Amino acid sequence: MKWNLPNILTVLRLLAAPGLAVMFLYFTRPYADWFALILFLSAAITDWFDGYLARAWKQETKIGAMLDPIADKAMVVIALMILVGYSAEHWTPWLVLPATVILFREVFVSGLREYLGDTAGTLKVTKLAKWKTTAQMVAIAILFSQGVFEHYFVMATFGMDAATMDQVLTGQLEDLNHMRWHLEAMFWSGRIGLWLLWIAAALTLITGYDYLRKAMPHLKES
């Protein structure tokens, strides 16, 4: 393996994927949410940089081309697993359904590529697939930020009874702990993150069908 900078960034991104889960094993929330958000954003940024640098410096390698999509899939799969797992108390289908679609597509397309073997080159990454990956990354980052806002909102309401909370949120009492801001940020980050995740799920279905259509000539019986 050639240890040039693009390949190093790709390997670091691959290692960062299980690091997301480690954050929630060794840190309490909201610190785990913060660390996971920073780690995920850093990995998403390197996803753009490693490809750009490899092309600009003419350092594209076979190992880099192989590891790059694996790192992307690992980041998305593990991040969705964490988001669904830590939202189990809410267990909303609005999060579970698009996450299921995305995970199913990743497994399905990976299986197609493995079966096709040497002819897997027919399933080249399209521009729409890149937009799908971008939508997934942005949606997951925003949903991680919702966990941060949610826990700061809970901390701001610590020790308050329901009546006091209602008075603060309705403006009858001074909002010293910025409760309203944290509540609004929690609400909109959750909504925007879910909207983007559904968009990513729709793009996932479209690109998955496109890959299946391209693979069909190779799946016909002789």
Question: Could you list the residue range(s) of the whole structural domain that residue 169 is in?
Answer: 91-221
Does 187 have pLDDT greater than 60?
A: yes
pLDDT digits (tens, 9 = 90+) for 205-219: 998 888 888 888 777
- Residue given tokens 């909207």 in the structure block: 195
Q: Is the separation of the CB atoms in 13 and 43 below 8 Å?
A: yes
Q: Are residues 74 and 153 in the same domain?
A: no
Q: Are residues 57 and 121 in the same domain?
A: no
Q: Is the separation of the CB atoms in 116 and 215 below 8 Å?
A: yes
Determine the pLDDT at residue 202.
94
CA dihedral of 63, 77, 192, 28, whole degrees rounded to 10: -110
Q: Are residues 30 and 95 in the same domain?
A: no
Nearest C-alpha neighbor of 213 from the set 123, 80, 119: 123
pTM: 0.83
Q: Is the separation of the CB atoms in 36 and 90 below 8 Å?
A: no
Element (H, E) at 155: helix 127-156
Q: Are residues 211 and 190 in the same domain?
A: yes
Whole-number Å distance between alpha carbons of 22 and 170: 39
Question: Phi/psi of residue 180, each to 5°?
Answer: -65, -40
The pair of three-digit structure tokens given for residue 144, joined into one six-digit string: 């991680």
Q: Which of 86, 121, 146 is at the close of a domain?
A: 86
Q: Are residues 41 and 108 in the same domain?
A: no
Q: Are residues 79 and 98 in the same domain?
A: no
Q: Which of 40, 68, 86 is at the close of a domain?
A: 86
Task: State the total domains in the chain.
Answer: 2
Determine the pLDDT at residue 64.
75
Q: Is the separation of the CB atoms in 71 and 14 below 8 Å?
A: yes
Mean of all residue pLDDT scores within the chain? 82
Determine the pLDDT at residue 7.
82
The pair of three-digit structure tokens given for residue 90, joined into one six-digit string: 């809410």
Q: Are residues 43 and 124 in the same domain?
A: no
The CATH code of the domain that includes 43 is 1.20.120.1760
Q: Are residues 53 and 153 in the same domain?
A: no
Q: Which amino acid is at 218?
A: H
How many of the other CB atoms lie within 10 Å of CB of 124?
9
